[in-house]
Structure 1
Amino acid sequence: MQQSKMNLSDDLVILINRLALNGDIRMAGIVLQTYVIRSWKLETEVARQYVIQYFQDHYPKQLQRYVKKRRKRN
């Protein structure tokens, strides 16, 4: 990936931050994945891995809560 692709716009970061901190990390993930697929022209699986890594780095507590809730449902 090029360096310019690695930077997210400020508006996108603010939106993802608000969604993740308000407990809607799933929606934040959908927004980020859609952005990555459309803007960076990546395949779905590569975009999904990027989104998971992004949330592991920036929102580990929220991601952990989401994964825990999802495991209980299954």
Structure 2
Amino acid sequence: MRRRDDLAIHNERVKLAVTILNAIAIAFFGLGVARPLIDGDVAITPMIVVHFVVAVAAVRVAYMVLGQLKTDDAEKETDR
């Protein structure tokens, strides 16, 4: 039973990290890209591009971190 608890804790920590990265991506996109465009600043400035790149990078890192989720089957394979 202890191994399953460790697995659940690991997976919850991974999901928490992904949630934080997703929130960062939303914040950078919302404040740095969407808001200036909605406010009428249609010109694409270097700052908008930087915010967009950071938002995309945060999502990409989140997907990589999400790949760290483990299943019971993965635990059994590492025990062999």
Superposition TM-score tier, normalisation by shorter sequence:
0.3 to 0.5
User: TM-score if structure 1 supplies the norm length?
Assistant: 0.32
Give the TM-score normalised by structure 2.
Answer: 0.31
